[in-house]
Amino acid sequence: MADSFTLPLRPIPEKRERPDTLPVEIAQINNQWGSFREVNEDVLRNKIAEEEEKDGLDEVDESDQDATDLDSTERLEQLYKRRAEITQFAMQAHMETMFALDFVSLLLSKQAPRQAETSMSAFLKQVAPLGSLNAEVVNPPPKPESTIKDISAVSRGWRIQNFNAAANKLLQAASRLETEVASETRYWNEVLAVKDKGWKISRLPRERQSLGVQYGFLEATPVFRNRGLASLRRAEDGALLLDEGLIPSKARFVRVRVIQDGKLSGRSRPTRSTFNGNATIEDRILQARDTVYEEELFHELVREARAIASFGVTTRQNLIQIPASDNLEILLDLVDTDEDTSQPEHDISQQGTSLADGLAHTIRILLAYAHRQNLRRRTMLPLPLTPKTRPVPEHQLIRPALAYIKHMSDVRWLQSLLKDLFGVLQSAGLKPPAYTARVFSTKRQKQTSSAPVVETLIGQFLTPLLSTFHGKLLTPRGSFSIAIHTNLSSTPFGTTFDVSFNMPKYPDLESPGKLSQREEVEAAINHLLLLDVVFTISSNSGSLKSESDKDQAKGSWEAIYPQHGELLIPSSKSESRKKMKIALSRHELSVEIYSVRCIDGTGRGNWEKPSSHSMPHIWKPSPIAGSPNQPSLMDFVSAAVSR
């Protein structure tokens, strides 16, 4: 409809009813310039020269002024003079205006005294009473015909000019509106596109007339929650601009670096690559969201790092250093995504990179989990209001990951210890029964709560970690079990080894219980296995004795100081007795047999004098499996008995 009906805004350029005829124009020229007869070349030349001279005079005047080198006092004087002149003129103009105002006010005071009084000067009020001047319309003398015509022509021209101006303005406004509509349309289309992608669009709380997009996380710390809202501004051409306020629009991320033995062995990569220049609005929103998430992550990491400073975690302005285990150190920092590509890569190992990536993912997943927990806490029935504010606990981000690393390191250490020890035993021809290891044997809680599976899954990661080792011993019905607890979230912090034995032969042997040092654990296990070996030797030789009558006379090994690994062949005949001393470590098993001279062979100290120094016999786990030239421990022991 709009294009079918056009309304002309400009006045129609109507033809004059009576165009100016030549005689009129000639008459006009005659009036202005005089008769044509007087126009000749000289006159015209003079005129041109006159005009040029006028222009030139001005120029000369100016140049003169420039040229005249007035000294400063003179100039100043002149300046003051001019200024005084200007002021004078202004004063005069002001006075005249005031007179005019007074006059009009006095005139009006007849009609509207109250209103006119306000604009009257005080002097006039004193001098002339209100309403003392009046004006009346008198019959004007009839104007000549020509004047009336002039007036009508002038007013007509004036009106046409106004119409033209109005039309121009309207047309300008129309075209401006058109571009405005186009850019508005573009703006709203883009806003709708953003909304269709699933972003939350709302009015800004402080700026009701503009739109904002919510990309942040509702459950984040208030500072970061409020930053999760950016306004959608419109550029000149209607393109959508994401106005994040004071936040730097640089994309940043939390970088995880793994330092192994003082060398960088892995680092995590940014999850989203930076875009260059021509990013869509959604890319920008995504980037803003990622950045706000990363910054919150780092904020929470620093908060937690301060809380766990007792583990040796140190924080600097933009760096968290975590000594994880043995010779592994983890560095966390917040960097721009486009940084850090220039560093040397030669030390990067596959394992380190996967550890760094795993850590990077872990802390992010844990922050998301913390957000969910925040929601859960927020939607619980609130606790009664008390004057003191409850502190917000630090989220568990580093601690679970750190606990995992520590736990794995401890488990690996124990595994290698057991492997070494059992290897030593095997090399000595003993056949220790295999042990079972259950890494991460934390009891799975039944899913009774209504929490989603994902949350339950992560919830298990936050519980203290537990791995157990069970095994049987050479001693019948003997067994040992070691449970490794790692807990960094609540006291007692750190790793404890819960070692327990079951040795029916030594009922008064107490399990060491909870140990926290690796050395203690190693000593305990060594001790246990030594007892086990001692018992095996003594029981074996006892059984041999019962089996063969031949050996009966020779006696058998009896454990006298099993806790020192000492055995003795009691013999009623001679003073010298054979004594065997067994030592077990994770590297070797050594057996030393010598004669002692004392009454019962149990004496120690000075009485114990090795009569014949025999070289101790050593079993080491050899890299070549089952070296045939070495007799087994049992053979060696029984040989020693019969010797």
Residues that bind another protein (CB under 8 A): 218, 375, 378-382, 384-387
d(CA 99, CA 97): 5
What's phi and psi for 515, nearest 5 deg? -120, 150
State the minimum distance, in angstroms, from the CB of residue 300 to another protein: 20
> 453 Cβ partners below 8 Å, 6+ apart?
447
Sheet holding 240-243, edge to edge: 200-203, 211-214, 229-234, 240-243
> 227 Cβ partners below 8 Å, 6+ apart?
216, 244, 247, 292
Tracing tokens 């709203």 back to the chain, one arrives at: 188
Tracing tokens 């000593």 back to the chain, one arrives at: 523
CB 395 within 8 A of CB 304: yes
- Residue among 7 and 385 whose Cβ is closer to another protein: 385
- Residue among 213 and 398 whose Cβ is closer to another protein: 213
- Residue among 381 and 434 whose Cβ is closer to another protein: 381
CB 108 within 8 A of CB 116: yes
- Residue among 134 and 202 whose Cβ is closer to another protein: 202
State the minimum distance, in angstroms, from the CB of residue 453 to another protein: 19
The alpha helices in 109-144, defined as continuous H runs, are 113-118, 122-127
State the minimum distance, in angstroms, from the CB of residue 221 to another protein: 15
- Residue among 138 and 381 whose Cβ is closer to another protein: 381
- Residue among 335 and 451 whose Cβ is closer to another protein: 451
State the minimum distance, in angstroms, from the CB of residue 385 to another protein: 5
Instruction: Show the beta-strand stretches assigned E in 447-557.
Output: 465-472, 479-487, 494-502, 513-515
State the minimum distance, in angstroms, from the CB of residue 418 to another protein: 47
- Residue among 249 and 447 whose Cβ is closer to another protein: 447
State the minimum distance, in angstroms, from the CB of residue 454 to another protein: 17
State the minimum distance, in angstroms, from the CB of residue 440 to another protein: 34
- Residue among 205 and 277 whose Cβ is closer to another protein: 205
Using a 10 angstrom Cβ sphere, with 0-12 exposed, 13-18 middle and 19 or more buried, the burial of residue 472 is: middle
- Residue among 350 and 386 whose Cβ is closer to another protein: 386
- Residue among 245 and 384 whose Cβ is closer to another protein: 384
Q: Give pairs for 202-209: CB < 8 Å, separation 24+.
A: 202/229, 204/229, 204/231, 207/231
DSSP string across 23-37: HHHHHHHHHHH--GG
CB 363 within 8 A of CB 254: yes
CB 567 within 8 A of CB 555: no
> Among 333, 339, 321, 231, which residue's Cα sits nearest to residue 284?
231
> What would the two tokens of residue 481 be?
């079990």
- Residue among 8 and 384 whose Cβ is closer to another protein: 384
CB 117 within 8 A of CB 109: yes
State the minimum distance, in angstroms, from the CB of residue 347 to another protein: 47
State the minimum distance, in angstroms, from the CB of residue 200 to another protein: 10
What's phi and psi for 260, nearest 5 deg? -110, 120
State the minimum distance, in angstroms, from the CB of residue 220 to another protein: 12
> Among 447, 442, 449, which residue's Cα sits nearest to residue 463?
442
